[in-house]
Structure 1
């Protein structure tokens, strides 16, 4: 059993010597900054898995190229989602830490908006637009239905469109 493992390891070392440049090429081609070596490691794992499944087939190099490329793209997407999630989370946390009241940004503007809206519509603006809460959460907090909250939102848009027009065109 250990002889088989040693032979397999020795064969993989030869494959690695032969295909390592493919990993570097794909990292370069995909314009990846691999400071921590995480993408290289992902490429090595993909090479190993491809070696275990497809080594000896005439299409091994094509399959390996596709496998490594796919894994690297998957990792890029995963990193992008993590960064996007962290950025949004940090933004929301930062907003909550110093934003007790939105009126201090432009008191005249917020007074004008507040006067144009009913109490429920103002709640919609505060909770949905400023705080970024989900419609379902607002409905739960206010003891009403999701459709009612959506209705508040439609009325807010209808009422604020003429008020906000000078801000958009300027």
Structure 2
């Protein structure tokens, strides 16, 4: 794959704002492990190779188990995810694949029982952010692994 344009170089001020937004989410009420799962799952759904690569490496650096990463695509059938993680993944899928009728009451109720209103709001922003990154990297065909050194992802030792 060949990158089309480098959106970071072309619009550095906008990149910086989106990066600030994403970095601010690290202070949210959502656990780092759930944020990692959300980022990977949304990126899988959207087909963003750059973001799947990046967030798998981040998750490994954060201590995520390899088998859980392999099971993420089949999380509904896997026994490896807790109910709170399952709720977050259901919310991620619902917001990433928005139905014409919106997010169902069933999914909302399932998520609402596992997250406070503040946490649900933070989780929603987390999903919004990764979907924005996915769209930029897909549109520009950002090459997976091309920013490993810049983001410290070479520490994952997954090359």
TM-score (norm: length of structure 2): 0.24
Bigger Cα Rg: 1
TM-score (norm: length of structure 1): 0.23
Structure number with the bigger relative contact order (C-alpha 8 A, sep ≥ 6) is 2
> Which structure dedicates a bigger proportion of its chain to helix?
1
